[in-house]
Amino acid sequence: MISFALLALVATMTFSLAPVPVQAAGQSVLRGDHASKSTLPKGCRSCHRGMRFLISDEAPCLKCHGSQGARDAEVSKGYLRSVGSLDLGDIEAELQKPYSHPVLSVSRVHNRKEALPEEVVDALRHSECFDCHNAHEATRERPLGGVAGKRVGNFITEIEKEYELCYRCHAESANLPLRSTNKHAEFKTTNPSFHPVEGEGVSSFVISLKAPYTARKERPGDVSIISCSDCHGSDDPNGPSGPHGSRFEGLLSQHYEMEDARPESDYAYALCYKCHERSSILGNESFPYHSLHILGGGPSASPGASCISCHDAHGSTVNPYLIRFDENVVSPNAEGKLEYRAQGVAARRGECFLSCHGVEHNPLSY
């Protein structure tokens, strides 16, 4: 049964083919925090201004989730109440940062019947607020509540994990940009190594790990799981949660130096040092030549290398220890080989075949 209020609204809709959302008896389409009449007294009209049901851009959302000035205007027009106790945050300011989801820059492309992951190679890529949030169901506790996720047979299930949302656009999409990679392929738990987002990691002793993560897995409960937004999000620790925007390249929540030959510091590799002890890495507790490479120097007087020259931050389909050489810096050796070979499991021994800053590795071993 559809509620009377909804029927009345549907009757005023300006289009006729759109299916009415399926409702359980007596349940309103609007169930999350936006259903609160004490904060949003105008109900559906808070977003459906002029009772237009098709929304294809972020403008209605930014009236309340943008600048304080815009919010004040909503209060004076009677759309929003008791802002004093509410802390809505300025999502618009996040989206204006140099690295952001293209919410403001790509508008009116979203179509609520679109298929995600994209099936069309040249479909224009976009991300609107409601590609990532269900405005009818979102709550403070579950900002991603009610968002459609993966397809299971004829059904589309609700997402349970944050990464399932990201995979709608960053995994098997037919329209991935040229330099982008399929994130599911990188995080798959059958890979030789991966950061533990989809499931538990492969290594039982990652010596540099800091609390709350467990370096050494001894008991079955010693599982360290992280999420995309542990690395991607606002550069402002007090900013709103979620990967809306950041002043750091890569839309990262901490700074990460991705250029070769820059000096090492706490700040340079802050992203990695958030979870991996700097003194352990530079103290060569795992790879005996970490400090030589990261700080530079040695007999060949090489400049310092970024972690990104040797490691992929997501996962590797080929190597253990997230090894992936950055081919902007590292090239094949004189015999044409560019390869890492680990010796045994957790042996802390391996060999590299490559050439870097004119230093031949054919192989160099540790």
CB of 200 to ligand HEC, least distance (A): 6
Least distance to ligand HEC from the beta carbon of 336, Å? 20
Does 93 sit near ligand HEC (CB under 6 A)?
no
Residue 286 DSSP class: S
Among 2, 135, 338, 364, binds ligand HEC (CB under 6 A): 135
Spatial contact of 246 and 252, defined as CB atoms under 8 Å apart: yes
Which DSSP category does 228 fall into? H
* Contacting ligand HEC within 219-258 (CB under 6 A): 224, 226, 228-232, 240-244, 250-252, 256
**Which range binds ligand HEC by CB under 6 A, 149-157, 205-213, 295-303, 357-365?**
205-213
Which tokens is 149 given?
Answer: 């996720």
Stretch that binds ligand HEC, among 124-132, 153-161, 331-339, 357-365 (CB under 6 A): 124-132
At 101, the amino acid letter reads H
- Decide: 57 and 108 in contact? Cβ < 8 Å: yes
Q: Does 361 bind ligand HEC (CB under 6 A)?
A: no
Neighbouring C-beta atoms of residue 194, cutoff 10 Å: 22
Comparison of 213 and 363: residue with beta carbon closer to ligand HEC:
213
Binding-residue pattern over the window 155 to 194 for ligand HEC, x denoting contact by CB under 6 A: -------xx-xx-xxx------x--xx-x---x-----x-
Alpha-carbon span 101 to 57, nearest angstrom: 13
Look up tokens 């003194």; give the residue. Answer: 279
Using CB under 6 A, pick the residue from 2, 146, 161, 287 that binds ligand HEC.
287
| Separation CA 252–CA 100 (nearest Å) | 10
Q: Taking CB under 6 A as the rule, does residue 150 contact ligand HEC?
A: no
Binding to ligand HEC (CB under 6 A) within 1-40 occurs at: 6, 9, 18, 21, 28-30, 33-34, 39-40
**Which residues have CB under 8 Å from 236's CB, separation 6+?**
none
Please say whether the beta carbons of 343 and 350 come within 8 A: yes
When the beta carbons of 28 and 67 are compared against ligand HEC, the nearer one is 28
DSSP 301-363: TBPP--GGGTB-SSEESS-STTB---TTTEE--TTS--EEEE-SSS-S-EEEEEEETTEEEEE
Q: Is 307 in the site for ligand HEC (CB under 6 A)?
A: yes
- The distance of closest approach from Cβ of residue 9 to ligand HEC in the complex, given in angstroms and rounded to an integer, is 5
Q: Which of residues 53-92 bind ligand HEC (CB under 6 A)?
A: 53, 55, 58, 60-65, 74, 79-80, 86, 88-89, 91
Distance of closest approach, residue 330 Cβ to ligand HEC, in angstroms: 9
The sign of the dihedral angle between the CA atoms of 129, 132, 133, 139 is negative
Stretch that binds ligand HEC, among 152-160, 278-286, 295-303, 331-339 (CB under 6 A): 278-286
